[in-house]
């Protein structure tokens, strides 16, 4: 493995810091103008982004006085609510912006709107900066401009940085990019940054566990193969990972729950493994002559791996299984199997082949672009790091399409290097073929090009209602105006509407698209899919006051087809039982009050 073979940077990497920051600011300005062109419509049209709506609810709860260590969502699910698995580490900065902007504007509502625009925009700027720096470190100064253009359009196209997107996925992506840049930069300080980013993204959510594991494997693997050259990076990564993992545990978990492991959220299980692995890696890197041969390093790292594995197997064996293994079969069939981001690639290919080109083309191209020079010239350090992270993201996306968000972003780095090499070749030996090759590199590196091609090739074969049409799917705030005006009650609806009911009305929702709300979601299914007489008994037993039906929502269609004789199917057809009173609602959302006994 060779060093990162990039050309010298004019003025050094620090000398280019200002230009890279200015590039990131320009990208943020472009995104804000893009959002302003449609009046920041995502602030009132969630387009199915339930997570961002529920995050807004959690921020409001925190500002209203709900405890920092209190994870419960009291307005969703059964009586008393249920414990959410999300981290307050994301709530805190958003809440700070809401409070500061609300104080300055004299309006909490305006403060929320500012936060919902500013927070994802700041993250977009940081993400762009990290991609540009990673491309510059990996492939030289010529890769910085392609990374700015290709990276900016990739980050904008994946949707997690749009105004209104305040869930945790954008934060985790930025932290993963920070981990990658820290590993690429090859120093003790950069290693600390990489380890800290890895620990933070893990503390925010378990979705990034594969990338964190690969990041740790990269730090350990580089030290194993290159020894003294990687001692600082390995030691820094281990110390940063262990320290921040421990700090996040103390900061987000109350002492009363320190001994309670959880597999779907940050807990003693993840924190103890992280601290052991991080301190162990740092200690091995600090051994000096005791680890001066590859054999000794292999033994030491092998012992550390065995210790981590034993801790997992003996203390937390239940966390080694499928996280959804215990999910009720009905919820798996009628809810999880319909969640697009949780679908494997073969399901996406069958249901929406256009999505294959949107999410998988540039990551595959990025892997190919990485592989060709490796086969020709051997493996460089930068290619090993970028390739490992990109491959991990691609494999995750094969399992669940949500990983494609990370894969599309990470693919920007090798694709920028490819464009830089084509530019250099075209400048060195001008020719028609060189110009065409450069143009092809630019065009093929844009994720939007593949997305448009997929739509053109495959979209006509899809049914006209296959997408999420907000006009009829009840994803817009004004769809809930009539419901907002009613006295607070428990609302029965499909799970797709749960977060919107909490965010845009004073009511509580029985169902919501979250795997911990098992009791509420099963109760809602039992009511909506039962015959009207049985549904009445269940609804009264659960003290439901309002039934909300959205005929245009995909989940409504799914449940109505699964239970054509059930309550939901009857209401979607317009057959209203005598114990329900129609109370209007609007063209998208129909409302029914449960009549008194």
**DSSP states along 474-540:** T-BGGGGHHHHTSPP-EEE--GGGHHHHHHHSS-EES--S-TT-HHHHHHHHHHHHS-HHHHHHHHH
**pLDDT for residue 409:** 97
Tell me if residue 45 falls in helix, strand or coil: strand
**pLDDT for residue 460:** 52
Spatial separation of the C-alpha atoms in residues 43 and 116, rounded to whole Å: 7
Spatial separation of the C-alpha atoms in residues 340 and 347, rounded to whole Å: 9
Q: Are 312 and 319 in contact (CB under 8 A)?
A: yes
Condensed to tens digits (0 to 9), the pLDDT of residues 416-457 reads 999 999 999 999 888 999 999 999 999 999 999 999 999 888
Q: Is the pTM of the predicted complex or chain greater than 0.75?
A: yes
- 342 exposure class (CB count in 10 Å sphere: 0-12, 13-18, 19+): middle
**pLDDT for residue 340:** 75
What is the 8-class DSSP label of residue 552? T
What is the 8-class DSSP label of residue 73? E
**pLDDT for residue 331:** 86
Whether 30 has a pLDDT exceeding 70, the answer reads yes
Whether 465 has a pLDDT exceeding 50, the answer reads no
Which of 490, 482, 441 is closest to 587 using CA atoms? Answer: 482
Condensed to tens digits (0 to 9), the pLDDT of residues 268-302 reads 999 999 999 999 999 999 987 778 899 999 999 99
508-509 vs 72-73, strand pairing mode: unpaired
Spatial separation of the C-alpha atoms in residues 231 and 286, rounded to whole Å: 7
Spatial separation of the C-alpha atoms in residues 494 and 361, rounded to whole Å: 34
What pLDDT band is residue 326 in, cutting at 50, 70 and 90? low
**pLDDT for residue 463:** 44
Among 65-69, 183-187, 429-433, whose mean pLDDT is lowest? 429-433
Whether 468 has a pLDDT exceeding 80, the answer reads no
**pLDDT for residue 462:** 43
Condensed to tens digits (0 to 9), the pLDDT of residues 236-257 reads 999 999 999 999 999 999 999 9
Please state, as a whole number, how many other Cβ atoms lie within 10 Å of the Cβ of residue 230: 24
**pLDDT for residue 327:** 77
What pLDDT band is residue 259 in, cutting at 50, 70 and 90? very high
Residue 84 makes CB contacts below 8 A (sequence gap 6+) with: 54, 58, 71, 72, 73, 514, 516
Instruction: Compute the mean pLDDT over every residue in the chain, rounded to the nearest whole number.
Output: 93
Spatial separation of the C-alpha atoms in residues 203 and 267, rounded to whole Å: 8
Among 196-210, 311-325, 349-363, whose mean pLDDT is lowest? 311-325
Spatial separation of the C-alpha atoms in residues 278 and 383, rounded to whole Å: 24
Q: Are 559 and 518 in contact (CB under 8 A)?
A: no
Whether 94 has a pLDDT exceeding 70, the answer reads yes
Spatial separation of the C-alpha atoms in residues 243 and 192, rounded to whole Å: 9
Nearest 5°: phi and psi at 414?
Answer: -65, -35
**pLDDT for residue 12:** 59
Q: Is the dihedral of CA 102, 498, 321, 393 positive or negative?
A: negative
Condensed to tens digits (0 to 9), the pLDDT of residues 366-397 reads 999 999 988 888 899 999 999 999 999 999 99
Q: Is the dihedral of CA 22, 28, 31, 32 positive or negative?
A: negative
Write out the two tokens for 240: 């940063």
Output 353 or 338, whichever has higher pLDDT: 353
Whether 8 has a pLDDT exceeding 70, the answer reads no
**pLDDT for residue 72:** 96
**pLDDT for residue 289:** 76
Write out the two tokens for 267: 């807990």
546-549 vs 490-492, strand pairing mode: parallel
DSSP element (H, E) containing 547: strand 546-549
**pLDDT for residue 329:** 84
Alpha helix stretches (DSSP H) within 158-266: 169-185, 188-204, 209-226, 231-252
- 103 exposure class (CB count in 10 Å sphere: 0-12, 13-18, 19+): exposed
Which of 234, 367, 374, 380 is closest to 304 using CA atoms? Answer: 234
**pLDDT for residue 464:** 39
- 50 exposure class (CB count in 10 Å sphere: 0-12, 13-18, 19+): buried
**pLDDT for residue 408:** 97
Output 339 or 302, whichever has higher pLDDT: 302
**DSSP states along 78-127:** STT-EE----HHHHHHHHHHHHHHHHHHT-HHHHHHHHHHHHHHHHHHHH
Condensed to tens digits (0 to 9), the pLDDT of residues 134-172 reads 999 999 999 999 999 999 999 999 999 999 999 999 999
Spatial separation of the C-alpha atoms in residues 2 and 9, rounded to whole Å: 19
Whether 226 has a pLDDT exceeding 90, the answer reads yes
Whether 228 has a pLDDT exceeding 70, the answer reads yes
Write out the two tokens for 411: 């693919």
**pLDDT for residue 335:** 82
Spatial separation of the C-alpha atoms in residues 14 and 9, rounded to whole Å: 9
Condensed to tens digits (0 to 9), the pLDDT of residues 469-484 reads 567 899 999 999 999 9
Q: What is the largest CA-CA distance in the chain?
A: 86
In the chain, pLDDT over 70 holds for what percent of residues? 95
**DSSP states along 271-315:** HHHHHHHHHHHHHHHT-GGGG-SHHHHHHHHHHHHHHHHHHHHHH
**DSSP states along 389-435:** HHHHHHHHHHH-GGGHHHHHHHHHHHHHHHHHHHHHHHHHS--HHHH
Tell me if residue 3 falls in helix, strand or coil: coil
């Amino acid at each position: 493995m060779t060093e990162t073979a990039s050309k010298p940077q004019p003025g050094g990497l620090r000398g280019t810091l200002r230009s890279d920051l200015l590039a990131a600011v320009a990208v943020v300005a472009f995104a804000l103008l893009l959002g302003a062109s449609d009046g920041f419509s995502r602030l009132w049209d969630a387009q199915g982004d339930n997570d961002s709506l529920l995050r807004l609810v959690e921020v409001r709860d925190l500002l209203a006085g709900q405890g920092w260590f209190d994870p419960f969502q009291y307005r969703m699910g059964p009586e008393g609510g249920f414990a959410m698995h999300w981290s307050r580490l994301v709530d805190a900065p958003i809440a700070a912006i809401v409070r500061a902007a609300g104080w300055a504007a004299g309006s909490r509502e305006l403060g929320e709107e500012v936060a919902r625009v500013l927070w994802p925009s700041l993250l977009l700027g940081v993400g762009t900066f990290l991609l540009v720096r990673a491309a510059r470190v990996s492939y030289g100064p010529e890769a910085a401009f392609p990374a700015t253009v290709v990276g900016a359009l990739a980050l904008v196209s994946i949707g997690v940085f749009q105004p209104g997107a305040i869930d945790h996925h954008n934060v985790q992506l930025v932290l993963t990019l920070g981990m990658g840049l820290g590993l690429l930069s090859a120093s003790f300080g950069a290693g600390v940054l990489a380890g800290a980013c890895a620990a933070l993204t893990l503390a925010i959510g378990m979705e990034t566990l594969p990338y964190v594991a690969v990041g740790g494997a990269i730090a350990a693997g580089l030290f194993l193969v290159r020894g003294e050259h990687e001692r600082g990076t390995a030691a820094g990564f281990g110390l940063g990972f262990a320290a921040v993992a421990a700090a996040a545990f103390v900061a987000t978990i109350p002492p009363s729950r320190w001994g309670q492991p959880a597999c779907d959220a940050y807990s003693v299980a993840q924190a103890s493994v992280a601290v052991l692995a991080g301190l162990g890696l740092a200690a091995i890197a600090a051994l000096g002559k005791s680890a001066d041969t590859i054999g000794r390093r292999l033994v030491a790292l092998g012992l550390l791996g065995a210790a981590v594995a034993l801790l997992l197997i003996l203390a937390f064996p239940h966390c080694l299984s499928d996280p959804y293994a215990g999910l009720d079969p009905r919820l798996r069939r009628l809810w999880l199997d319909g969640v697009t981001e949780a679908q494997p690639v073969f399901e996406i290919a069958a249901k929406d082949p256009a999505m294959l080109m949107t999410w998988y083309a540039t990551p595959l191209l990025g892997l190919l672009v990485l592989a060709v020079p490796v086969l020709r010239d051997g493996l460089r350090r930068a290619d090993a790091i970028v390739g490992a992270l990109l491959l991990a993201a691609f494999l995750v996306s094969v399992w669940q399409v949500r990983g494609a968000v990370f894969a599309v972003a990470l693919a920007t780095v090798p694709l920028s290097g490819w464009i830089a090499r084509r530019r250099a070749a075209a400048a060195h030996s001008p020719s028609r073929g060189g110009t065409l090759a450069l143009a092809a590199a630019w065009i093929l590196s844009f994720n939007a090009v593949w997305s448009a091609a997929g739509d053109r090739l495959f979209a006509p074969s899809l049914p006209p209602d296959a997408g999420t049409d907000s006009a009829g799917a009840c994803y817009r705030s004004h769809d809930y105006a009539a419901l907002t005006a009613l006295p607070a009650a428990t609302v029965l609806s499909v799970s797709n509407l749960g977060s919107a009911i909490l965010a845009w009305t004073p009511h509580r929702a029985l169902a919501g698209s979250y795997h911990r709300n098992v009791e509420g979601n099963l109760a809602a299914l039992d009511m909506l899919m039962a015959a009207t007489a049985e549904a009445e008994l269940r609804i009264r037993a659960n003290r439901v006051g309002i039934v909300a039906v959205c005929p245009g929502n995909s989940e409504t269609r799914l449940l109505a087809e699964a239970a054509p004789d059930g309550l939901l199917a009857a209401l979607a057809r317009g057959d209203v039982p005598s114990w329900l009173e129609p109370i209007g609602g609007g063209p998208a959302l129909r409302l029914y009050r449960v009549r008194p006994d």
